[in-house]
Structure 1
């Protein structure tokens, strides 16, 4: 049966692919922009929210990325970064997320005079503040961070070193992001080789707007632990007229090696990687037992949340609570925190949470059936 919206909201969720500068509250963007005199494309909260989603609905990754000019512009001071990070943690917790890895590019927050170390310190302070507020509200969450280098720039080794230097401060991994076409991950081999020598985790945006060559390079040349998006792996999966499925060598490698796919359904539609939720390859990839995870990417630009992503998948594919538990456990198995901490979250938070939801549903069904039997209308 299709879970209710209340069940989806209450379900424990894990998020591996979420951009800090893609999840600001529109009201916060308006206030911070007013403080620095930054001109926005809309003057009120509903209008600004609408502008972000409409601008992102272009079907082009390059056009999608231009929306970040406004969010990044208001994230150039320590106070702004602390506020945005704290609100991010609170918003995710309110949506039922119990563990999140949120990524951002420190090199994009230096125009106000901050250093790279200042940026990391401010974001970590904000996340700790948001975690404490969420816990006080009865929705505990743990937020870890990934430091992102921009693939069109030349600071990836520097950002990789920054990530390693801040492993004890809450940074759990590294990423490269930005337009894929013309900027292959192999441009940043030095950073990835350094990270491997330091026993550090990293994911790579690959297979979003560009196809199999990007995925192949990310894995076989760069050694990525996870694929940021990776949705285009479907290009190496053939479905015959009789429904028989054949995996190409790269797709088979990804599945056999249990390489996590950080799929972001709504975002993938906006950037042209899929035509609709119903046409998204997540259902086939999940049925074939790839290591599929569900993510938001940019909550502001996509007008989404983890609960909304789950609801869309429930409507399109008939997914129920056991399916969402599977996606959630997949995500924790793939997280960059230590194994014992992942296992504790699975056994102490996620599985009990879904068990409680199932028990509550069974109770409600029995109670509803009893009420029906006692109803004068049914007598």
Structure 2
């Protein structure tokens, strides 16, 4: 029997998403409409279809810095409570339509205060959109509050995350260009989060190498690594058996989750192609690998599409996709009993049903 799922098959399977940026997944039509409503005049295209094509083309430069520049337009139209709530609601709707049952979506509140909105209003608007979208479309969406690593507001954003953690904020993150902005610049924020028993992930090992990963884990105490693709630099793949360096061994031994985003990693130059992406070797070596979208608009992708690309590149079947999915749910910042319930009552039965309904005789 042919165990390889198609894109349509994968869309029908229950999935979990841990690394997705709110301002990286806005619908092009929504961007155009919000620009008209707010008077934002900076869009390179005002036709939704052409705007989508522009975002995807501008994101294929191979440079993380150039990739990040595209966000000026999405952030530019997300400067009111109504706009933020709408984008958050549509995010929940789009993720649910892709078969996702649990998601953690991140954004930087400090980027949405250009018209004078206080940080609290930004957070409450997004949480409102996620809550309504979740109720209407049968998905739970938790918010990750992100601080920009080149700014000096990380402690303030960390305190905001703790303040709203009983209202839908599940954790904290830092993001932005890695080179020159090590996570240790934000130690006060991470030490505060640890004292408050709060969860956090750190973008590390995407645009910079092993020192970024080492600092994120050993100095800052990250629960998860955003991307972490450069851990491959500490693995010697030649010979009969790959040899892991001390950092790679530590990451694997401690089951530190890696939030891998294959298409985005190619666009930013962190990987050469899907076929050469380190995710293949890391899966073989049983690292705690998860599969994610990063920025659905810029990368022109969905979680189902990411899985389908991996099926094509590595020949993965349902067992592999379930492994990635259960890894993600185990690594989520949701309470333990909720994670266990989703794994045992939603994910495993859902994948069993997909296996049964999609097994096809080999030609």
Report how far residue 113 of structure 1 moved: 2.0
TM (norm. structure 1) is 0.93
Secondary structure at 1:175 match in 2: strand
Partner residue of 1:40?
Answer: 43
Could you tell me how far 1:359 is from its partner in structure 2?
Answer: 1.8
List runs of 5+ in structure 1 lacking aligned partners: 135-139, 370-379
- In the alignment, structure 1 residue 254 sits paired with structure 2 residue 254: no
* 1:85 paired residue number: 88
Match of 2:305 among 294, 303, 308: 308
What is the aligned-residue RMSD (CA, Å)? 1.2
Tell me the distance in 2 between the aligned counterparts of 1:251 and 1:4. Answer: 33
Which residues of 2 match residues 191-230 of structure 1 at below 5 A? Answer: 191-230=189-228
Q: Secondary structure at the match of 1:255?
A: helix
Query: Matched residues in 1 for 2:255 and 2:312: separation?
Result: 27
Shift of 1:51: 0.7
Could you say which residue in structure 2 is the equivalent of 1:10?
A: 12
1:239 Cα deviation from its structure 2 partner: 1.1
> Which residue, 134, 149, 172 being the options, matches 1:151?
149
Q: CA deviation at 1:124?
A: 0.4
Cα shift readout 1:7-62 (whole Å, capped 9, x = no counterpart): 11101110000000000000000100111222211121121011111111111110
Q: Which position in structure 2 is the counterpart of 1:289?
A: 286
Size of the alignment, in residue pairs?
A: 360
Query: What SS class does the counterpart of residue 299 from structure 1 fall into?
Result: coil
Larger radius of gyration: 1
In 1: Cα distance, 2:8 partner to 2:265 partner = 26
**Deviations 1:328-364 (CA, angstroms, capped at 9, x unpaired):** 00001100011111000000100010011112134x6
Name the SS of the counterpart of 2:96 in structure 1.
Answer: helix
Partner residue of 2:24 out of 4, 22, 25? 22
CA distance in 2, matches of 1:184, 1:168: 30
1:346-361 mapped onto 2 (5 Å cutoff): 346-361=343-358
TM-score normalised over the length of structure 2: 0.97
Structure-1 separation of matches of 2:220 and 2:355: 42
1:52 corresponds, among 47, 51, 55, to 55
Distance in 1 between the 2:240 and 2:60 partners?
32
The whole-number CA distance in structure 2 between the counterparts of 1:90 and 1:209 is: 31
Q: Distance in 2 between matches of 1:142 and 1:249?
A: 37
Secondary structure in 2 matching 1:272: coil
- 8 Å contact kept, 2:145–2:169: yes
Runs ≥4 residues deviating over 2 A: none
Give the drift of 1:222: 0.3
**Gap runs ≥5 in structure 2:** none
* Partners of 1:85 and 1:239 in 2: CA distance: 42
- Give the Cα separation in 2 of the matches to 1:149 and 1:43: 30
Taking the aligned partners of 1:58 and 1:37, their CA distance within structure 2 comes to 29
Distance 2:178 2:80 in 1: 29
